[in-house]
């Protein structure tokens, strides 16, 4: 029964990792930008839910209605200004710029909100859980987050494979130059992809803020988990990211079962094994962003 | 008024000159070939017209509008289609999706019209039966045709063809030339870089010869090939002998 519990809890936390990671995967897949500020953007979204949303007289539970569209807009603008300028120079510049962005965000948050822990307050809902049997409890919030992750990844996959905007994103990620010669304004397409990435990471940030206490430095570790989920699943593959997230979650729960200190270690070990045995990730070839 | 006008177009990359004071005009409906040795600046000339390369100096007009103020995507929508020497299909998409994207983005069409245009561009290039194949699985001839189909789906008035016959067998060249002749008959102006000089001689009504980024000859194709300037460029190379022998 313990093993079933490890699997279930691992899958639940894995859903969160996948939700967190899909924006990272998308930005890398389309723009070839590794966004080192990805985790910090999620943390800013969580702070927005705590401090900005109540000012608009909206309950924190409904924060995503405000924060997600706001971050989509921010994503578009950041891409068209800061990131596009970096891309125009060379790929390494994007690493430096996003790293710089990460440092700036962390320090601004420390300056404004101090290092005190915060959390998104959704009232009693956070404590609700569903008892499977005498050993296994499933937290409602985790279950909802897993459901949202599956929904978001599925919708994104459908959007990319079935709609003309999605086709355009795939074309630009395939060959920017050729897409331009077909009359596509790739910079706008990059903006749209960044908007989607920022929207999903904002959603993940709020989910994170609901389930855990966070502070301005929380972005780093989440970025690491997101990276691991993406690499385990295979870069550019959305379903791969979901599977990667879930495997990472299960590995961590497995480690934690023996000793709480082994939680992160077990995840890292899985990450290393995949990297050594199958560097393209589990779904690196079969299902890709450019399906 | 000419459809395309280049005036004093110059471009260098460091010490390499790819375009030196290039001036010429294309009339609407013209079919013009471009020859020149490797590194003469032929492809760069296309890149300057299509917007991939920004010239250092000079003027560039299409249908009376200044092209230099438009990016590559805008130029495509304005009627300039281009194919690459090495075909660059969207490999992970089907042949039809490739054409559809071009119709929706380049010709700015939506829904049924875009589907019809995409399909007709595949029909005209003989690709209709391959519509559902992933573009990455196609052989060279079909990739070249797809390159043409995609340019066609953007509804161009000027087509820039970059060595579209290169690497094909004689029979394939004849087939592809027939397709291009058909497009020209529909009123599309064509500027065609080609190493297969025979393909050019049987079709174009004007020939430009480039060397070191300069136009060294411009005129009736056989006269251009026979000119001293062109002979000097090729140092009496096989290209001339082959062409004049036929």
pLDDT per residue over A44-101, tens digit each?
999 999 988 888 888 888 888 899 999 999 999 999 999 999 998 988 899 999 999 9
Q: What is the per-residue pLDDT for A1?
A: 58
| B3: DSSP letter | S
Q: What is the band of A291 on the pLDDT scale with cuts at 50, 70, 90?
A: very low
**Using an 8 Å Cβ cutoff, are A156 and A149 in contact?**
no
> Can you tell me the distance from the alpha carbon of A43 to that of A206, in angstroms, rounded to the nearest whole number?
8
Query: Averaged in consecutive runs of 10 residues, what is the pLDDT profile of chain B (246 residues)?
Result: 89 88 91 88 92 91 91 91 89 92 88 91 91 90 91 93 87 88 92 84 88 88 85 63 51
Task: Tell me if A240 is assigned to some domain.
Answer: yes
Which pLDDT score, from 0 to 100, does residue B223 have? 86
How far apart CA A234 and CA A230 sit, in angstroms, is 6
Range of the domain at A24: 2-115+133-277
Structural domain includes residue A169: yes
- Is residue B197 within a helix (H) or strand (E), and if so which, with residue range? helix B197-201
What's the confidence (pLDDT) of residue B239? 52
Across chain B, mean pLDDT equals 88
- A248 falls within a domain: yes
Q: Is the pLDDT of residue A240 over 80?
A: yes
Share of chain A above pLDDT 90, in %: 54
Contacts of B38 by beta carbon, 8 Å cutoff, 6+ apart: none
Query: Coil, helix or strand for B6?
Result: strand
Residue A34 covered by a domain: yes
User: What pLDDT score was predicted for residue B217?
Assistant: 87
Q: How far is B36 from chain A (nearest CA, A)?
A: 24
pLDDT in the model for residue A118: 86
CA distance A84 to A96: 13
Model pLDDT, residue A270: 94
Work out the percent of chain A whose per-residue pLDDT is above 70.
97
Which residue shows structure tokens 């340019």?
B151
pLDDT band at A287 (very low <50, low <70, confident <90, very high): very low
User: Which residues does residue B219 pair with via DSSP β-bridges, in sequence order?
Assistant: B207
Can you read off the two tokens belonging to residue B243?
A: 């062409």
**Searching chain B, which residue's CA lies closest to the CA of residue A188?**
B73
Check: CB of residue B184 under 8 Å from CB of residue B205: no
d(CA A188, CA A179): 12
Give me the pLDDT at residue B170, please. Answer: 85
Residues A158-166: what's their mean pLDDT? Answer: 90
Asked if residue A150 belongs to a domain, the reply is yes
The answer to whether residue A70 is domain-embedded is: yes
Distance CA A290, CA A277 (A): 24
Region B28-53+71-79+157-246: CATH code:
3.40.50.300
Q: What is the pLDDT of residue A159?
A: 92
pLDDT at A106: 94
Give the tokens for residue B171.
Answer: 């029979």
CB A68 within 8 A of CB A202: yes
Query: How does pLDDT run across B54-63, given as a tens digit for each residue?
Result: 999 999 999 9
CB contact under 8 Å between A185 and B71, yes or no, is yes
The domain limits of chain B are 28-53+71-79+157-246, 87-155
Please tell me the distance in Å from B79's CA to the nearest CA on chain A.
10
A244-251: average pLDDT? 94
Kindly give the interhelix angle for A186-211 and A2-31, rounded to the nearest 10 degrees.
Answer: 160
Other C-beta atoms closer than 10 Å to the C-beta of A155 total 11
Q: How far is CA B29 from CA B3, B163, B175, B188, in A?
A: 9, 20, 21, 6
pLDDT score for B232: 81
Does A175 map to a domain? yes
Residue A288 is predicted with a pLDDT of 45
CA-CA distance, A5 to A7, in Å (whole number)? 5
Tokens of B14: 């460091």
Domain count, chain A: 1
Work out the average pLDDT over A219-231. Answer: 90
Q: What's the CA angle centered on B52, arms B48 and B57, to 5 degrees?
A: 40
Instruction: State the nearest Cα–Cα gap between A28 and chain B, in angstroms.
Output: 17
A162 touches chain B (CB under 8 A): no
Residues of chain B with C-beta less than 8 angstroms from the C-beta of A288: 92
**A172: contact with B, CB 8 A cutoff:** no
Q: Mean pLDDT over all residues of chain A? A: 89
- pLDDT digit string, tens, across residues A171-216: 998 888 889 888 899 999 999 999 999 999 999 999 999 888 899 9
- First-to-last CA distance in chain A? 39
Of the candidates B19, B147, B59, which has an alpha carbon nearest to the alpha carbon of residue A181?
B147
Contact A184 B90 (CB under 8 A): no
- Going by pLDDT thresholds of 50, 70 and 90, the confidence category of residue A251 is very high
In this prediction, residues A98-115 reach a mean pLDDT of 93
What lies within 8 Å, CB to CB, of B209 at 6+ separation is B34, B35, B36, B215, B216, B217, B218, B224, B227, B229, B230, B233
Nearest by CB to A178, which of B71, B88, B153?
B88
The neighbouring-strand residues paired with B159 are: B81, B190
Tokens of A202: 């904002």
Q: ipTM, 2 decimals? A: 0.77
| CATH code of the domain containing A147 | 1.10.3470
Residue B243: per-residue pLDDT: 53
| Residue A290 forms part of a structural domain | no
């Amino acid at each position: 029964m313990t093993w079933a519990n490890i699997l279930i809890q691992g899958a639940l936390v894995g859903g969160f990792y996948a939700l967190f990671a899909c924006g990272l995967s998308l930005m890398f897949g389309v723009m070839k930008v590794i966004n080192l500020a990805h985790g910090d953007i999620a943390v800013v979204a969580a702070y927005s839910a705590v401090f900005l949303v109540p000012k608009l007289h909206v309950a924190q539970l409904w924060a995503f209605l405000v924060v997600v569209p706001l971050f989509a807009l921010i994503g578009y603008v950041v891409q068209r200004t800061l990131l596009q300028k970096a891309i125009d120079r060379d790929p390494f510049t994007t690493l430096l710029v996003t790293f710089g962005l990460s440092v700036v965000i962390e320090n601004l948050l420390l300056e404004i909100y101090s290092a005190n822990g915060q959390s998104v307050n959704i009232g009693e809902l956070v404590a609700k859980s569903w008892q499977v049997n005498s050993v296994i409890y499933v937290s409602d919030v985790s279950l909802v987050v897993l459901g949202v992750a599956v929904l978001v990844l599925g919708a994104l996959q459908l959007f990319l494979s079935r709609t003309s905007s999605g086709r355009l994103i795939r074309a630009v990620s395939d060959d920017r130059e050729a897409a331009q010669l077909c009359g596509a304004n790739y910079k706008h397409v990059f903006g749209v992809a960044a908007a989607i990435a920022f929207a999903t990471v904002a959603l993940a940030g709020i989910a994170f803020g609901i389930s855990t206490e966070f502070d301005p430095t929380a972005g780093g570790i989440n970025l690491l988990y997101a990276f691991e989920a993406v690499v385990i699943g295979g870069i550019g593959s959305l379903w791969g990211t979901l599977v990667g997230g879930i495997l990472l979650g299960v590995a961590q729960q497995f480690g934690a079962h023996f000793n709480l200190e082994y939680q992160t270690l077990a995840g890292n070990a899985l990450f290393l094994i995949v990297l050594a045995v199958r560097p393209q990730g589990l779904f690196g070839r079969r299902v890709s962003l450019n399906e | 008024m000419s459809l395309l006008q280049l005036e004093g177009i110059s471009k260098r990359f460091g010490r390499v000159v790819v375009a030196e004071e290039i001036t010429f005009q294309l009339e609407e409906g013209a079919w013009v070939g471009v020859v020149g040795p490797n590194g003469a600046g032929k492809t760069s000339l296309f890149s300057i017209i299509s917007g991939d390369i920004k010239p250092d100096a000079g003027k560039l007009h299409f249908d009376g509008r200044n092209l230099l103020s438009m990016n590559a995507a805008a130029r495509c929508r304005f009627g300039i289609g281009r194919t690459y020497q090495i075909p660059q299909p969207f490999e992970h998409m089907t042949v039809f999706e490739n054409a559809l994207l071009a119709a929706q983005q380049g010709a700015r069409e939506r829904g049924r019209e875009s589907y019809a245009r995409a399909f007709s561009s595949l029909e005209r290039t003989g690709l209709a039966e391959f519509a559902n194949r992933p573009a990455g699985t196609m052989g060279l001839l079909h990739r070249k045709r797809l390159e043409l189909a995609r340019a066609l789906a953007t509804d161009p008035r000027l087509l820039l063809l970059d060595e579209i016959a290169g690497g094909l067998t004689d029979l394939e060249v004849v087939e592809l030339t027939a397709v291009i002749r058909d497009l020209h008959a529909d009123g599309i102006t064509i500027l065609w870089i080609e190493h297969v000089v025979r393909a050019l001689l049987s079709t174009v009504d004007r020939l430009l010869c480039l060397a070191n980024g300069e136009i060294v000859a411009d005129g009736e194709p056989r006269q251009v090939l026979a000119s001293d300037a062109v002979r000097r460029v090729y140092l009496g190379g096989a290209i001339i002998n082959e062409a004049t022998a036929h």
